[in-house]
């Protein structure tokens, strides 16, 4: 008898081929979309692949800020002298640096968060910048606070959040493509998908650490332009290293490079740039 339809094995083989083609198509679409997301940074002039415009970054940051703050103890009221100091120094850094000429100039906000256990500072796309009380209370002078906030301003100016979102979208497309292409009845597709997801996460971690070093460089420039001695950032790194063994630990150390590596980079900057050659930069008043 003539067989009008293929056997079960043939059908499964054909299905596997179709899934592979669809999976490959998803990955190709993701790669093409990623490389089409090219934009010139309005401040640095660098060509970047970003997921959104500066206006969209600012809208996203403003929308996400309340939830992010709530997860870390909530915002300390602006009437608190510590919160007022964070806002004041942050504003001074923006006004005295290239950040004042950026699309985000009028959108920067600096907040102190009530989390007394987690040593951390972070920036959302578009200019919403936070520092926890746990980190604030460990800093010794205004220059160290300026260094931390300047570092976070560097993330905003360099559009690291938008870059990571574009990479995250690419990574998700790759993971989806692998899941579709490797799906089967034996569960091997799930293993392949898990491996792809892990690879994507490692890719994001790698770039995050590279961005941290770039933001360190910008933070040093910004604190110097505001009159603060950049060498105080060495002490900030030591504080973060010391905090890594305390209760709550240092959340910054989970994504930031090892403090010793950052200290070496800071020392290189100080030696090459000699920003305080005139002796006019200072550590500023003590915080306690």
121 three-class SS: strand
Residues of the chain with pLDDT under 50: 1-7, 10, 30, 34, 197-203, 205-207, 247-248
pTM summary value:
0.76
Residue 156 near residue 104 (C-beta atoms within 8 A) = yes
Rounded Cα–Cα distance for residues 277 and 254 (Å): 35
Rounded Cα–Cα distance for residues 146 and 235 (Å): 13
Q: Which residues pair with 123 in a beta bridge?
A: 129
Q: What is the pLDDT of residue 174?
A: 59
Q: What is the pLDDT of residue 196?
A: 52
Contacts of 276 (CB under 8 A, 6+ apart): 224, 229, 230, 231
Q: What is the pLDDT of residue 25?
A: 65
Closest-CA residue to 275 (of 236, 220, 216, 232): 220
Go through 198-217 and write b for each residue having 16 or more CB atoms within 10 A of its CB, e for each that does not: eebeeeeeeebeebbebbbb
Contacts of 160 (CB under 8 A, 6+ apart): 211, 214, 215
Q: How is the chain split into domains, by residue range?
A: 22-273
Q: What is the pLDDT of residue 42?
A: 81
- What's the pLDDT tens digit per position in 190-245? 555 555 544 444 445 444 677 888 999 999 999 999 999 999 999 999 999 888 76
Q: What is the pLDDT of residue 50?
A: 77
Residue 147 near residue 90 (C-beta atoms within 8 A) = no
Q: Which residues pair with 47 in a beta bridge?
A: 40
* Strands in 37-194 per DSSP E: 38-40, 47-49, 109-113, 121-124, 128-132
């Amino acid at each position: 008898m003539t067989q009008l339809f293929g056997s079960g094995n043939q059908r499964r083989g054909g299905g596997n081929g179709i899934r592979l083609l669809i999976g490959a198509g998803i990955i190709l679409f993701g790669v093409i979309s990623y490389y089409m997301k090219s934009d010139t940074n309005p401040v640095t002039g660098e060509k970047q692949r970003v997921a959104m415009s500066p206006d969209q970054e600012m809208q996203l940051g403003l929308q996400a800020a309340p939830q992010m703050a709530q997860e870390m103890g909530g915002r300390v009221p602006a009437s608190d002298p510590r919160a007022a100091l964070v806002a004041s120094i942050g504003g001074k850094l923006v006004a005295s640096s290239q950040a004042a000429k950026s699309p985000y100039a009028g959108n920067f906000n600096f907040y102190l968060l009530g989390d007394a256990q987690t040593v951390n500072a972070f920036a959302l796309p578009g200019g919403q910048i936070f520092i926890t009380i746990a980190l604030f209370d460990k800093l010794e002078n205004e220059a160290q606070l300026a260094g931390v906030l300047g570092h976070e301003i560097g993330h905003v100016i360099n559009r690291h959040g938008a870059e990571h979102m574009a990479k995250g979208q690419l990574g998700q497309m790759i993971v989806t493509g692998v899941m579709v292409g490797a799906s089967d009845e034996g569960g091997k597709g799930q293993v392949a998908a898990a491996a792809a997801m892990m690879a994507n996460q490692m890719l994001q971690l790698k770039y995050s650490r590279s961005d941290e070093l770039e933001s360190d460089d910008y933070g040093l420039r910004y604190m110097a332009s505001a009159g603060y001695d950049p060498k105080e950032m060495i002490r900030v790194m030591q504080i973060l290293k010391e905090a890594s063994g305390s209760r709550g630990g240092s959340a910054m150390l989970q994504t930031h490079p090892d403090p010793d590596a950052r200290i070496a980079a800071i020392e290189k900057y100080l030696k090459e740039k000699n920003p305080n050659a005139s002796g006019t930069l200072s550590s500023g008043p003590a915080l306690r």
